[in-house]
Amino acid sequence: MAKTEAKPDVRPGCILTMGEILVEILATEIGQSFRQAGTLIGPFASGAPAIFIDQVAKCGSPCAIIGCVGDDDFGALNVERLREDGVDVSGISVIKAATTGSAFVTYRKDGDRDFIYNITNSASGHLSVSEIREHLLKDCRHFHVMGSSLFSFRIIEAMKSVIETVKANGGTVSFDPNIRKEMLRIPEMREALDFILDYTDVFLPSGHEVMLLASASTEKAAIDELLNRGVREVVVKRGKDGCSYYDGKDERHVQALPVTEVDPTGAGDCFGGTYIACRAQGMTVERALAYAGAAGARAVTYRGPMEGTATLAELDAFIKERAGVSHG
Ligand code: ATP
Ligand code: MG
């Protein structure tokens, strides 16, 4: 895609996302096995795009989500939570014949997580072009794609359709690959990821995902490849090692705030939601990265994927408390 330098990389205005809305149910012990009975905690509101958009709303940006829930309490829990936090939920369909998606999570001793998902056969699996709401597309200035949402051909088709419309209307696109290993079993996934990257203005991969979507053999070369392809900003998320920013001219590395991690799920989504909202509000890269890093760090101190979403005022207080630095 041709670069258009004069335009901001995240267009100000309504931020839209689309994808799975779930509840998450967590094992309470590290190393707990799902092959035997144990104590679980939940349901918690979840789904990567839902966490992302909840965080965007908490940052004070107008935003909406397109998704599907079942006609059940798991669905109501999510819709009420998103609405309360300021997300436009008019794009969430209630599918009578389906149940809301779910994810069960156990935490390994090495810090990794194992998930058992019920998404494809849940209400979220009903997402298709027919769920796209015209009024939301008309208002949308920025669309965020979560790679975890690309779990069916119908959703991939819907995602492509929204991306094309938003870009044709002069909007911008961000993409967090959030690749789950289960998804790579879909053979057309690579083609879909390539399609999305061709339209991506802001790319938000985790460290290990940078190489997954480029042919280069070093991270630096892979980032250059992505920038040459038309991506305008690459922000690499590195967990407790912070994050790095690249736009072809400028390169920044931001250390993570020191925290005690309770639950890593949702950090990347909170980081992404904050970064995109802050950029759409016209903040500098430096300020957006500071808020995004704080949002990610704060999120891991909360058990439950959406429980750590925070307002900018809460992030200011958190930054001050952790580093003695105010961004007011
Ligand atoms: P996920 O594995 O859930 O997809 P992710 O890889 O997208 O997560 P992370 O890199 O884990 O995202 O987290 C996003 C950001 O949040 C990091 O770049 C960092 O700024 C902050 N962060 C995450 N974990 C920690 C931590 N343990 N301590 C401090 N900051 C953290
Ligand atoms: Mg992620």
Dump pLDDT digits (tens) for 315-328.
Answer: 999 999 997 644 43
Q: Is the CB–ligand 1 distance for residue 242 below 6 Å?
A: yes
Distance CA(292)–CA(270), nearest Å, equals 7
Report the DSSP beta bridge partners of residue 244: 236, 253
User: Would you say the CB of residue 180 lies under 6 angstroms from ligand 1?
Assistant: no
Q: Is the CB of 261 under 6 A from ligand 1?
A: yes
The pLDDT score that the predictor gives to residue 6 is: 59
- Ligand 1 and 259: CB distance under 6 A: yes
Regions of the chain where pLDDT drops below 70: 1-6, 180-185, 324-328
Whole-number Å distance, alpha carbon 236 to ligand 1 midpoint, is: 10
pTM, to two decimals: 0.95
Atom of ligand 1 nearest to the CA of 209: 6
Instruction: Find the length of the chain.
Output: 328
Give the residue, by CA position, lying nearest to ligand 1 atom 27. 240
**Tokens (6 digits) for 89:** 């939920």
- Closest to 45 measured CA to CA, from 58, 59, 62, 35: 58
What 3-state DSSP class applies to 35?
A: coil
Query: Residue 37 Cα, ligand 1 centroid: separation in angstroms?
Result: 30
pLDDT at 328: 38
Question: Are the C-beta atoms of 95 and 69 separated by less than 8 Å?
Answer: yes
- For the chain, list the strands marked E by DSSP: 14-18, 22-30, 40-46, 63-70, 92-95, 101-107, 113-118, 140-146, 172-176, 202-203, 233-237, 243-246, 251-254
Contact predicate 318/56, CB 8 Å: no
What homologous superfamily is domain 48-71+86-93+127-322 in, according to CATH? Ribokinase (3.40.1190.20)
State if residue 124 touches ligand 1 by the CB under 6 angstroms criterion. no
Is the distance from the beta carbon of residue 239 to the nearest atom of ligand 1 less than 6 Å? yes
Q: How far is the centre of ligand 1, averaged over its atoms, from the C-alpha of 238 (Å)? A: 6
Write out pLDDT tens, residues 78-127.
999 999 999 999 999 999 999 999 999 999 999 888 999 999 999 999 99
For 50, the token pair is 């839902």
